Amino acid sequence: MGTREDREESASLAPVWCPVANMVAERRAGPGGQEVWRGSKHFQPGAKLYLQSGYRGMGGESVTVVGRHCGSHRYVTMVVRSAWLENWRADLVYSPHIIRQLTPDWDGSAKSKERAERIAELFNRYHAEQRERPDVSPE
């Protein structure tokens, strides 16, 4: 149980908007994509991951996310391939720990919500196009 100050701080944190996604259930790996792996080394299949940041220079291929680690069950910040994430959407975050990790990039404003929705739509569209192209591997 936290101190009184910790509880007061948690109560004073307002929810923030950010893009969220789920870790894919299965993904192809290895030479030629012959192996099938469940989730990733750090996140279980279906884990809810919160987008902390993604840089234009990274081309959207890798993103920094916050989520619960499958081994320690603590929140961790990791860089993962965006191709390993599905079901992108904008969502309000209420967890004080995650809010602290996401600020100042995300907040509770309408502008932040619109930005999160736009990013989620872009990732969904981009990955749908990649799946339709037979000449591009998902890895």
More confident residue, 43 or 111: 111
Average pLDDT over residues 52-65: 72
Q: pLDDT (tens digit, 9 = 90+) per residue, 3-57?
A: 555 555 555 689 999 999 998 876 666 677 676 666 677 788 888 999 987 655 5
Q: Residue 119 has what pLDDT?
A: 92
Q: Please tell me the pTM assigned to this model.
A: 0.78
Contacts of 7 (CB under 8 A, 6+ apart): none
Contacts of 138 (CB under 8 A, 6+ apart): 27, 28, 33, 83, 130, 131
More confident residue, 59 or 56: 59
Distances in Å between the Cα of 97 and the Cα atoms of 5, 10, 16, 40, 51 are: 15, 9, 12, 22, 14
Q: pLDDT (tens digit, 9 = 90+) per residue, 67-101?
A: 998 888 899 899 888 888 889 999 999 999 999 99
Task: Give CA–CA dist 52/75, Å, rounded.
Answer: 13
Average pLDDT over residues 99-105: 89
Q: Residue 73 has what pLDDT?
A: 84
SS3 assignment, position 135: coil
Task: Give CA–CA dist 55/36, Å, rounded.
Answer: 28
